[in-house]
Structure 1
Amino acid sequence: MKSFQITRTLPTDATDAALRADVLQGLTGTPKTLPPKWFYDAYGSELFEMIVALPGYYIGRLERELLAAHAREIGAVCGARTLVELGSGSSEKTRHLISALPLHTYLPVDVSESALRQAGQALAAERPDLHVHALIADFTTAFTLPPTPGPRLVAFLGSTIGNLLPRERGVFLAAVRALLAPGDALLLGTDLVKDPGRLVAAYDDDTTGLFNRNVLSVINRELGADFDLDAFEHVALWDAAADHEWIEMRLRSRREQTVKIPALDLAVDFAAGEDLRTEISAKFRPDRLTGELAAAGLEVERFFTSPDQAYALTLAVPTDHATGPSTVRTTASVS
């Protein structure tokens, strides 16, 4: 029987320190911003699960369908003995990969110890032949993977890469490339550019509004701030600029106001109508995605898309270890 273990690479106070730094930098900058990772306390995670179930929010559904349809082919191509999942959360989406791969080790990576422990222990009980080694780490900063059998498949799903600005994406992809040895691969989930009306509709609803404003609740609770959640309006916009092509989620101040954050000895002034950006969600075109991967030293090995060309899974390998020309696949079997 294989084992479950958990390794912490983050200091126990790292989350508090990161929140303080992000709030101070983001709310004193122009324009004001906050990183989307602070949506996800326990309540925020519950709200996100509700969002995923909404008819208009297609990302989770299409990704699960693509994984179900192509996990065996992905497994046949990469033959991974270790699956590394960045931002693993509940580990639900990767069940298809875990079943299809000849795995020895599953290595989920997340900042939440509770999420890792709950998901990892459940999976270890379901799959006694699988070694589950959870890693408490922030995948947006440098970290080292523990020794595990190769080849390895690094999965980064949910179009989470779209939350990074272009420069940040370049740094992230280069860091992932540095983790890959000969024979290893990256599986990347990305939302694709499509009709702006469909894009905005996926982010502009009451539940997403609650989710967006939850970042203010987190700051109130953790830093003693006095944000009035009702004083901010949820806004979702499509930025069609060629170098952007992303959805922006914002919180718009309904009135002129000053918010105090005692833990930072900070007072933040908001003008009426002023926006606080809480998330970007970049959408990709295949050629742009291929270019960004190539710049990081990665080559497309398989490219799977949903029938409506709304979502993609990309299997990429280090350029100097590619097995042949890229193969583009359109998934006609997924509805």
Structure 2
Amino acid sequence: MRPVVIAACLLLLAPITDSWWASGSAVILDPRMVCKKNRRTRGRLAQICRNETGLLKEIIRGVTLGATECAHQFRTRRWNCTTQRRSMRKILMRDTRETGFVNAITAAGVTYAITRACTAGSLLECSCEKGAPPKSRRGKVLPITLPPSTVPTERWQWGGCSDNVRFGLRKSREFMDSRYRKRSDIKTMIKLHNHNAGRLAIKNNMRIECKCHGVSGSCMLRTCWWRMPTFREVGDKLRDRFEGAAKVIASNDGGSFMPESPSIKRPGKRDIIYSEESPDFCTPNMKTGSLGTEGRQCNVSSAGTDSCDQLCCRRGYKHTTVKETENCNCQFKWCCEVICDTCYVKRDIQKCL
């Protein structure tokens, strides 16, 4: 079995509660610790903690999903969404662009996991949506509208099993936001804004999937249903928002924020925002959570964030030869087996000084 396959199997077998994000810190979202600290409170958060154990399990899955996606999106950057707990705690105690992304991707992960569990029938509290989306008393579809480009042009009708994203959005808000609703400091406003931006990356990118009906596949009628985007697409959207994140300051009214500079456009609901500048992450500094980039592998032929010039902070790099194994001389044996030899291959890599 190849190393990549082994790694994938280990990830699938690992307990979902072993997420490095769920480290027990008051800063990092650990659903179990949140419930422990709020066990005497009332309201929806307390109800989830006491009575909805299945939902709590999906929330933990969502936190893990966000952690995995964060590591993927930042794998080639100076700050690589590190798995080092002490470093992550320091990052989340500040209010940088990186903090904003973590809060957004976590809220998105929780929403996604809950919604997916509804569709799969894993939760008693919800199920998939049948038929047309629910409407308000005034006849308007709530609370999601589809972009015109996603609506089929042929004759179609609602049907199938739509993703119940409304339930996922509501439960994500109840669990992640309810503790902060009575606060109005700038950090709390930014946190809640970025939580919502993460959820909107799912809500605003819902799409329609359809199945054809008719004689000999003529597709005279289509049955269509709602589907969430893949979580990789959600991560890509939020990474783009991270790239264009806006720095904000508290407004004079004490209950809102505004762009740091009057020349900057006011950020929208889908944008990631922050109030503190990020460190350069070039050298270790545990006050800021930076682990530095010494020893990180860089790409000498790249012009992006993983280039040796960028990743190594212009300190230079060294060439290292590594020995890897791969399958070779594979032969098909009747019937039905493929037998391969194990070959050792030398590969040159570059590591930051």
> For the superposition of Structure 1 and Structure 2, which TM-score range results when normalised by the shorter chain?
under 0.3
Structure with the largest fraction of strand: 1
Which one has more relative contact order, counting CA pairs under 8 Å at least 6 apart?
1
